[in-house]
Chains A and B, each alone.
Chain A
Amino acid sequence: MTHQFNRRKVIQRIAGLGAATVFGLHLNFAFGQTGAGPIKVGMTGALTGPYSEYGEAVKNALDLAIEQWNAKGGINGRKIELTTVLDDQLIPDRAAQNMRRLLDDKSLAVIMGPGGSGPSLAVADMVAADGRTFINPFSQNPTPTYPNGLDKPPRTNMFQFGILSNVEAAFLGNYLGKTYKKIGLAHESTGYGVAGKDTLLNIINKSFPDRKFEIESYAQRATDVTPQLLRLQRAEVDAIVVVGLGADLVNIRRTMRRIGMQQPLIASAGGVSVAYMEGAGDAAVGTIAPLVPALVESNPRPEVTAFVNSYKAKYGPDRQWGPDKNRPFAGMSLIVIPPYDGANIIFEGIRRANSTEPAKVTAAIENMKGYAGVNTVYSFSRQRHHGIDSENLTMLQAVKREDKVVWEVLKN
């Protein structure tokens, strides 16, 4: 039995279906900002995958900030809605695709960008072209916001709240140059590691030109880093500085001990993570890192206390909070607080401008001086679209207190 289908009929039916589909696709009206109705926010971040702690940090921060604003009546009476949350797993391609979708949605007023240097770089051009107000939550690479260099004006619609690598490098470089003569520098072979290493070298060379360096690189999640550390040991460096994420820092720390390296270990801010603290255990004691001291100061500012309490109330002592139920992990200043402060500042900017028009919001933010956030007190300007500067940073050290390893301000 054969099935004789009338080809013409089939083609007609398909053509009909096709036309309907085209029409359906066409039904994609964009509701513009009308000055009434909720203020819509969209975000993309690493919600799943090996870096999900970063996306989770941003989402938690954003949710908390929005909830608090809405509890006070929203922004000038308009509620804030986080309408679109996309997952990019910290993969640059994915972030770019997600950003395309977010930008296509003309109803969004504020966009919370992806974390990580790779994704931030991948979306920078298209965000700048679009022009809407954009928050870079914690990435340290300054190029997305300052594409022409740090001495030239930043992109008007983009604001960055993490510790920029040049800021960290200036501070850390100053400390290192003052304290050590021969510096061993190990960096992970990623955008974060390479950029961090480059900026650090630049700073130290400028202010302390006679300092010597030994530079090694390692792959993220490498099984063994013995050769790199052996070379640093052989070079008899005074200290080891690591620009990389916390998980690999554990391996480095253990290897240092296995081969008997006594030099002090200095981590970049990105190394201060729960994985490091748990993995290194007591071996973490002595590690030094630059950070915002907000969470470890003995007399915290009221904004800090308020945040700490409200975070714990909403989320409990979760993965971001860290293993010590009573004290929040210092690393929250790196990935949770920046997007929190960032969201608050943007919302404040919208409130002051009484508009979501990017130019007006930007003007309002640039006029902000002395805004008390959690990580620090913020001031912006036409030239400055980032939140944290060197003077906001302190060197911290991991110490043992009552059987726990905690971070405290480094005593000289």
Chain B
Amino acid sequence: MKAFRSYLSIIFCSPQLLFACALIIFIAAPFMTGAQQQMVSFAIISIALAQSLNILAGMTGQISLAHGAFMGIAAFTSVILVKKLGISPLLSIPSGAVLSGLIAWLLSFPAARVKEFYLAMMSVGFGMIFSEVVREWESLTGGVMGITGVPSAQLGTFIVFGWVVSTTDYMRALVVFALVMMFTLDRFVRSRWGRALFALHVSELAARSIGIRSGQIKRQAYFLSGALAGVAGALYAHLVSYIGPESFEIHRSIEILVMSVVGGLGSLAGQVLGGIVLTFLPLQLEAFADYKFIVYGVVLTLIFVVMPSGLAGVLLDPPRFIANRFRAQANNVSEKPAERKRIVGEEILRWENLRRDFAGLTAVTNFNFSLRGGEVVGLIGPNGSGKSTTINVVTGVYPPSAGRVFLKGQDISALPIEYIASLGMVRTFQDPRLVGRFTVLENVMLGAHLHQKYGWTEALSGLGRVTVDERSALDRAEAALSLINMTEFRDSVVDSLPYGYRRLVELARALAVDPDVILLDEPGAGLSEAEIGRLKQVVRHLASKGVAVLIVDHHMDLLAQLVDYVVVLDSGEEIFRGSMNDMRSDPLVAECYLGKLDSNATKAEGAHA
């Protein structure tokens, strides 16, 4: 089976073969009948639609049933521009796409504020509004009658620079478009932005805590997704020569969803598979129409249970997210990125009178603290004492109810998480929030996201700083990996690793950010002896480099070997600060952990003695 999959993957996923296929179709074009050309054209458009949905649903985890509407916006725009204003399709198609992208971008704002399943309803609602607008705005869209005689190749009315485009030419143009799209998307998926989208999907909080600006990225993903759906929509309109309100309603969005999901969310090759299968199957099997709803229904009901990674998951090797050409130098670890000068002993992090309330419950109060570079401090206390809350407030997850937080002298009290991360403070979580399908290396590279500078256009085109940034990020990632001693695991998929290893990978990801302060939330939990050993090595190394480290944990032995001193919290208040030895003999601490000695109990014991 594995051999079969590798074989298929070579066929399907190698760029040379993709090119060859395209060439064959290109050459065969004039010998194909009109219907065959139309079928191929539909297939390409379907693939584009599936890819567009994949960007949002597969990569970013934003379910959308509005892609029919995004198709429609661009379709109507292009048709109206060409038919009524005589503008060239070369201009009208991109214009339509940009409009679709912009409207999708607008939708991203409310989308950012709501729970996942609300997104589905929101997208349906938007689709309905679009449909209503198309039906009412008769003067523009032809109302319920739609627009016939759309300039198209099959009517001989699709004209570019005076050249009448035939159906053969149109199909060829679509083949070229498909090639360009696939190469561009592949580049995108293997860029920092593609990887960041996957990270967002897994945990927005974790992504933000390593500096990924989730709001901005989501909006751009919406734009890209909407624009690509728009291109497909405009190309569709000029193919079928008739569009009406029914062309772009919920059933269209559902079809796109089925294609995307059947092919395999999160996989580019999967979208191709899904698009092809769901174009040819209905056209070849007349009986299919009868059972279409039943088939779609069964597919959607069971896909996440039976085949969550779709056809791509079954037939192909999993996709990878680093461009191969950058990896050539990846094994060269001797070049570590330039180290920043840190002054040991200088105050890096401080908070004053910190307080956080939650609807009547005070989780933390009256907390004052200062952390210097090179220090390792333990923050301990029983469950519910406010340790995690402190970390959350300090790193920006919630604002403090009172008091202030300073990082390197700057007041960061109510700043966003990703901004704080960019200033040099990073934290880890109690559960490792890694991207399961990524390899160790791909996950750790996410930590270097902050240090890469190239934008979306460069990610899509592959020009500019991409090469430099990717290579240096790889170097950073390798350096972090060698710190945790997991270099030989760099290509292991994280989901296949044991829990302890995953926690270390998360630590490496934080290291790749190269922070000045690092807050570790229960780093020792679930680690084996050997793994704890690596953890200790890392902490000591960090301290020696002047990084300030705060550890929340329950492993007293671990802490004893690492920390300079501890702070003990109980019910949100600090009850002790000092060395671990002194802590052990402090009566207040003992009481909070063990409880007050019950005077009645001692009497009872005495009575039985």
Contacts and interface: CB of A to CB of B under 8 A. Distances in A.
B324 to A, nearest CB: 14
A3 B144 contact: no
A10 B11 contact: yes
B242 A122 contact: yes
Nearest to A95: B242
A7 B9 CA distance: 12
Contacts of B290: 48, 87
A280 to B, nearest CB: 25
Interface in B29-64: 31-36, 38, 42
A124 B242 CA distance: 10
Given A48-B289, A100-B38, A22 B28 contact: yes
Interface stretch (B145-153, B355-363, B487-495): B145-153
B320 to A, nearest CB: 15
B145 A125 contact: no
A125 B38 contact: no
Interface string A312-335: 000000000000000000000000
Given A5-B7, A22-B24, A26-B28, 7 more contacts: A3-B3, A14-B21, A26-B31, A97-B42, A97-B240, A100-B35, A126-B155
A191 B145 contact: yes
Contacts of B2: 3
Given A3-B6, A100-B154, A104-B34, A87 B289 contact: yes
A129 B243 CA distance: 19
Contacts of A368: none
A229 B572 CA distance: 65
B31 A92 contact: no
B20 A18 contact: yes
A18 B247 contact: no
B244 A86 contact: no
Contacts of B408: none
A10 B10 contact: yes
A126 B155 CA distance: 7
A89 B144 contact: no
Nearest to B131: A219
Q: For B2, B144, B149, which residue has the most chain A Cβ atoms within 10 angstroms?
A: B144
User: What 4 A-B pairs come out closest when comparing CB atoms?
Assistant: A122-B242, A22-B28, A18-B24, A104-B35
Given A5-B10, A22-B31, A194-B143, A121 B242 contact: yes
B14 interface: yes
Interface string B133-177: 001000000011110110000110000000000000000000000
B496 interface: no
26 contacts: A7-B16, A10-B7, A11-B16, A11-B17, A18-B24, A22-B24, A22-B27, A22-B28, A25-B36, A26-B31, A48-B292, A93-B240, A96-B240, A100-B34, A100-B38, A103-B34, A104-B33, A118-B246, A121-B148, A122-B242, A125-B149, A126-B241, A129-B155, A189-B144, A194-B144, A194-B145
Contact of B21 (A10, A18, A49, A92): A18
Q: Is the interface of B mostly helix, strand, loop or mixed?
A: helix
A364 interface: no
A25 B242 contact: no
A5 B240 contact: no
Contacts of A122: 148, 240-242
Given A92-B246, A93-B247, A125-B155, A193 B24 contact: no
B11 A25 contact: no
A121 B33 contact: no
B38 A189 contact: no
A28 interface: yes
Query: Chain A at the B interface: mostly helix, strand, loop or mixed?
Result: helix
A124 B36 CA distance: 21
A68 B2 CA distance: 60
A101 interface: yes
B154 A195 contact: no
B508 to A, nearest CB: 26
Nearest to A119: B242
Nearest to A91: B246
B591 interface: no
Contacts of A125: 148-149, 155, 241
Contacts of B605: none
Interface range for A: 35 or more
Contact of A97 (B38, B146, B286): B38
B154 A191 contact: no
Contact of B20 (A14, A25, A48, A92): A14
A199 interface: no
B286 A7 contact: no
Interface string A113-140: 0000110011011100100000000000
Given A3-B3, A18-B21, A25-B32, A92 B241 contact: no
B244 A92 contact: yes
Contacts of A28: 33, 36
Contacts of B289: 47-49, 87, 89
Interface in A4-23: 5, 7, 10-11, 14-15, 18-19, 21-22
B585 to A, nearest CB: 60
A21 B3 CA distance: 25
A186 to B, nearest CB: 15
A51 to B, nearest CB: 12
A195 B31 CA distance: 42
A394 interface: no
Contacts of A47: 289
B139 to A, nearest CB: 13
Nearest to A84: B286
A190 interface: yes
Contacts of B144: 189-191, 193-194
Interface in A181-198: 189-191, 193-195
Given A5-B7, A104-B33, A125-B241, A25 B148 contact: no
B17 A14 contact: yes
Contact of B242 (A96, A101, A104, A193): A96
B246 A5 contact: no
B31 A25 contact: yes
A350 B11 CA distance: 53
Nearest to B138: A194
Contacts of B7: 3, 5, 10
A268 to B, nearest CB: 16
Contacts of B242: 92-93, 96, 121-122
A147 to B, nearest CB: 10
A28 B149 CA distance: 29
Contact of B14 (A7, A191, A194): A7
A156 B294 CA distance: 42
Contact of A126 (B36, B146, B154, B283): B154
A101 B246 CA distance: 22
A405 B262 CA distance: 50
A181 to B, nearest CB: 29
Contacts of A121: 145-146, 148, 242
Contacts of A189: 135, 144
Contacts of B24: 15, 18-19, 21-22
Contacts of A19: 24
A92 B33 contact: no
B97 to A, nearest CB: 20
B244 A101 contact: no
Contacts of A100: 34-35, 38, 154
Nearest to B32: A25
B69 to A, nearest CB: 16
A96 B146 contact: no
**Residue of B6, B28, B145 with most partner-chain A CB within 10 A:** B145
Nearest to B36: A25
Contacts of B149: 125
Contacts of B244: 92, 118, 191
Interface in A346-375: none
A5 B8 CA distance: 11
A183 B86 CA distance: 42
A305 B601 CA distance: 106
A124 B148 contact: yes
